[in-house]
Every structure is written in structure tokens, then in C-alpha cells.
């Protein structure tokens, strides 16, 4: 039976980088490498790194060097050059570096190329900007021949020469994947169609680039048909700008200051020479760039990002990979948490990984009769065995006793907490104190009476003893008279 499951959307990151001036470059590199390591552990599919030589914010000059270091710290994530500016290099050197990266990453390299994004870089190298795209086209054809392991060939043009050229080592991958950078103009897509490569839509981070996406793929398919090639939407990568947190308010609070600085100091202040919106407050920046109609930036929750990706998928007709643009809008800790949230909550929803779980939960809830019958079957077998039946009764009795104790404790806690109960308790305590005092007084009186009784009893006893020891005066007189009489008689 054929597999009808739809292809999963892939996720990754695109590191230009865009780091504000002020931090140690050494530590910036280490922080970027930590990000790659985290994304590999979280299960992201791709990580891209670009080449730049000026502006102060974009400081990585060799994506191959950076990705080679990343390869030693990761295991499964694919590593793409995003991008190598081909007009700046001899094609033979580019091909050899890509082969080495593919081996150091154990077959995880992706070759992304572009004409060069920064005019200041081209000026420094003495290259006319009008020549950049034609030179990229020319270099790509030569590099493909070298990576394919074609027979030795010679090539001469106005900016490089090859004589009997052939690579002594080929990539691990039999077909090392290519991707071409594309922005608002049709040139990138047209070049991708001509060479049958993937596409890296880097301008979708802007409002104009986002609006241009629906028409972009048609340029690639038309060019591919013209040159006898095919292009696949699965190889189309779209770069988006986002920052997410647990709540929309929290995301806004954490990202707004960095967003304003990124826009005012770099995007407008440096790249556009001051032409654009300079925001006076961070809230103004967030409102205009993330919450206005047609905004290209998502600042909010995981659900907000899911909604944007699904919406973009529908508008464009579909693509294979979403790449999040790496920025420093928030603190380093919060930026890393942003990627963690994407892995935990965005990717599963976009790829419908949670659908079977929800279906299973619903199925169990809606089929109670089946599970009740299974329980009855177990009970029936227990009842057939006297010992098991007796044990079940004891267990049920113990359970009921425990549940009753819990209910009584809960009711007692509620009663004690109520004002009426507190008043009753206070009155009861007062009555108890009075009773105790009365009892104490009674006991004291009783003890006093007993003591008095004992004293009186003691006196009476003494009197009786005294009477017993001494005869009465009357008796004594009689005895004396008798004695006197006896004496007279004699």
C-alpha cells in the first residue's frame, strides 16, 4: 500500500550573522557555535551561515571555516553555506573547500551560493556590482563540473583561468546539493532553474520580499523548462524573522528593544544609509514591524508562528524548509529559549505530529462501553476465585475508608476556614474555658470541704480518746465516796 503521509516541513536557522557592535567577536563565534549545537540536539534539520566582509555587524568571513567547527560539535544537522559569494573567489578553491566540508561533516554539507549581498564588500575587492550575477552564473557551471568528477578540462575567462582542472578528492555525497540565494528580483530563481538547483529565499524577511514570494517559483519553473531541467519545491527554503515566548506580551517585552536597535542602527542606519523608518520608541517599532498589516516579522507565541507558516505555505503553493533568521533582539538566554519553543511546539503542529495523539485520546473517550466491558470481564474472573474475591472486597473497603477520610478532612478544612465556623469555634473555646474554670472552682471547694471534714473528724476523734482516757468527774466523786465509806467502817 502506498504511503499517503504528506512530506514534512523541514526547519532550520539562517545565520548572517547580525550581531550588534559592542560584544567580543571571539565570544560571538562561540555563542553561534553553541546555537548550532543546541539546534542539532533539538532535532532541527539545517543550519546556514553566510559570508560578509564589512558593516561591523556581519562578521563571519568564511562560512566553510565556521561550519567545519560546527560539524565537530554536531551529529545530524545539515550545514549549508548561506552563502558563498562566488564572484569573490576562484571557482576551483570554492569547490575544494566544499569537498573538505562535506568530508568533515560526514556528508552533511549543502552548497549555497550568491552574487554577494553587500555592495561595500564588492567595492573593497574592486568588483563592479553590474558583473556580480553573471559571474555567479559562470562560476556555478564550472563548480558543478568539478564536483561531478568530470574529465580534466580547461576554462578561461576575464576573471579566472583553469588548466586541465580536476579535483583530486570528490565529495562524500554523490550529488552534493546546491542552493541559490534569491531576493525580490527574478534573477536568483531564474539561475536556480537554469542549473536545476534549490532556492534560498533570503528577502522574505522584509515586507517587499514576503509580498514577492507568490510569483517567485514561477520564475524558477519557466527557467528550468527553458534549459531542460526540473526544480522541486522541496528544495525551496524560505527565511522568516520571528521571536516567540510563552505569551505575546512576554515576547513583545523581551524583543522590542533589540528589534528597534536592529532596525534603526543596522537595517536602516547602515544598510539603507538612513533611508527608512527610524523609530523613536521600542513599542512603535514592534507595532509597525510585527503587528501592522503585511508585516514580515512574527513576535508572539508558538501558535502565532504556526499560523504564519501555514498561511505562507498556502499563499506560495508550498515549500520545503523554513529557516529562522538568527538575531540578537533578546538576551542570549531568551534567544536560545525561542529556538527551544519552536522545536517543542511549532514543528509538531506544522507537521501534524500531534494529530494521532489527539485522535487516540478522542477514541478512548468516545468508546467507554468497550473499556467498561473489559473491566467487567476482569471482575468476573476475580469473583470466580474466593480468595481473589475476598482480597478485592478488602481492597475496596480500604479504598472507601481512605476516600471517606479524605472527604472528611476536606470538609473539616472548609468548615474551619469559614467565618461561621471560626465564630462557633471561638464560642466553643470560650464555653470550654468557663466550664474548666467552674470545674476547677468546684474541685477546689470540694477539696476545702474535705479538708475541713478531715479536721473536724480529727477533733472528734481526739475528744473521744480523751474521754476514754479520763473518767468523768461524777464517776470520780462516787469512787472517792465509796473509798471514804470503806475507811469509816474499818
What are the pLDDT digits (tens) for 5-41?
A: 778 999 999 999 999 999 999 999 999 999 999 999 9
Number of residues written out for the chain: 490
Residue 37 and residue 226: Cα distance in Å, rounded? 42
Find out whether 212 and 193 touch, Cβ atoms under 8 Å: no
Q: What is the mean pLDDT of residues 107-119?
A: 96
Cell, residue 414 = 472548609
What does the mean pLDDT of the chain come to? Answer: 87
Q: Which residues of 1-35 are buried (b: 16+ CB within 10 A; e: fewer)?
A: eeeeeeeebbbbbbbbbbbbeeeeeeebbebbbeb
Which pLDDT score, from 0 to 100, does residue 212 have? 80
| 65-96 per-position pLDDT tens digit | 999 999 999 999 999 999 999 999 999 999 99
The label of the residue with cell 552548497 reads 111
Cell, residue 242 = 520571528
Question: What domains lie within the chain, and their CATH numbers?
Answer: 10-360 (3.20.20.30)
| 264-285 per-position pLDDT tens digit | 999 999 999 889 999 999 999 9
Percent of the chain topping pLDDT 70: 83
Burial class (CB in 10 A: 0-12, 13-18, 19+), 331: exposed
Q: 321-325 and 236-244: which strand pairing?
A: parallel
Find out whether 255 and 243 touch, Cβ atoms under 8 Å: yes
H-helix segments, 227-367: 248-261, 282-290, 302-316, 332-341, 347-350, 355-366
Amino acid at each position: 500500500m502506498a504511503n499517503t503521509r504528506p512530506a514534512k516541513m523541514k526547519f532550520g536557522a539562517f545565520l548572517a550573522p547580525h550581531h550588534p557592535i559592542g560584544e567580543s567577536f571571539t565570544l560571538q563565534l562561540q555563542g553561534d557555535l553553541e546555537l548550532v549545537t543546541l539546534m542539532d540536539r533539538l532535532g532541527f534539520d539545517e543550519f546556514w551561515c553566510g559570508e560578509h566582509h564589512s558593516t561591523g555587524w556581519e562578521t563571519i568571513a568564511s562560512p566553510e571555516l565556521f561550519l567545519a567547527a560546527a560539524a565537530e560539535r554536531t551529529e545530524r544537522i545539515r550545514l549549508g553555506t548561506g552563502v558563498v559569494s562566488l564572484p569573490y573567489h576562484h571557482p576551483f578553491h570554492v569547490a575544494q573547500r566544499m569537498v573538505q566540508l562535506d568530508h568533515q561533516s560526514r556528508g552533511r554539507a549543502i552548497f549555497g551560493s550568491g552574487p554577494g549581498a553587500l555592495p561595500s564588500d564588492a567595492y573593497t575587492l574592486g568588483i563592479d556590482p553590474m558583473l556580480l550575477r553573471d559571474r555567479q552564473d559562470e562560476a556555478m557551471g564550472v563548480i558543478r563540473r568539478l564536483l561531478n568528477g568530470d574529465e580534466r578540462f580547461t576554462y578561461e575567462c576575464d576573471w579566472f583561468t583553469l588548466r586541465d582542472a580536476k579535483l583530486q578528492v570528490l565529495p562524500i555525497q554523490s550529488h552534493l546539493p546546491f542552493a541559490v540565494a534569491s531576493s525580490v528580483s527574478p534573477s536568483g530563481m531564474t539561475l536556480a532553474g537554469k542549473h536545476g538547483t534549490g532556492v534560498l529565499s533570503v528577502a522574505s524577511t522584509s515586507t517587499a520580499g514576503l509580498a514577492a514570494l507568490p510569483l517567485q517559483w514561477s520564475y524558477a519553473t519557466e527557467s528550468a523548462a527553458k534549459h531542460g531541467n526540473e526544480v522541486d519545491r522541496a528544495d525551496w527554503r524560505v527565511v522568516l524573522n520571528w521571536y516567540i515566548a510563552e505569551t505575546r506580551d512576554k515576547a513583545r517585552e523581551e524583543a522590542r528593544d533589540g528589534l528597534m536597535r536592529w532596525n534603526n542602527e543596522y537595517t536602516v542606519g547602515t544598510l539603507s544609509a538612513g533611508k527608512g523608518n527610524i523609530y523613536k520608541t521600542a513599542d512603535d517599532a514592534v507595532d509597525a514591524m510585527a503587528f501592522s498589516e503585511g508585516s514580515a516579522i512574527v513576535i508572539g507565541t508558538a501558535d502565532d508562528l504556526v499560523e504564519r507558516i501555514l498561511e505562507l505555505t498556502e499563499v506560495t503553493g508550498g515549500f520545503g524548509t523554513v529557516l529562522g533568521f538568527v538575531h540578537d533582539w533578546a538576551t542570549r538566554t531568551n534567544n536560545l529559549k525561542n529556538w527551544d519553543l519552536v522545536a517543542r511546539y511549532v514543528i509538531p503542529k506544522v507537521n501534524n505530529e500531534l494529530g494521532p495523539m489527539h485522535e487516540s485520546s478522542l477514541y478512548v473517550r468516545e468508546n467507554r462501553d468497550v473499556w467498561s466491558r473489559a473491566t467487567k470481564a476482569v471482575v468476573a474472573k476475580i469473583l470466580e476465585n474466593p480468595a481473589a474475591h475476598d482480597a478485592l472486597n478488602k481492597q475496596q473497603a480500604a479504598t472507601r475508608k481512605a476516600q471517606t477520610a479524605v472527604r472528611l478532612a476536606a470538609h473539616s478544612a472548609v468548615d474551619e476556614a469559614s467565618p461561621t465556623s471560626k465564630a462557633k469555634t471561638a464560642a466553643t473555646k470560650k464555653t470550654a474555658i468557663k466550664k474548666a474554670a467552674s470545674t476547677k472552682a468546684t474541685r477546689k471547694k470540694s477539696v476545702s470541704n474535705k479538708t475541713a471534714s478531715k479536721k473536724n473528724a480529727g477533733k472528734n476523734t481526739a475528744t473521744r480518746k480523751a474521754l476514754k482516757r479520763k473518767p468523768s468527774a461524777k464517776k470520780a466523786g462516787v469512787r472517792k465516796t465509796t473509798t471514804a465509806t470503806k475507811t469509816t467502817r474499818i
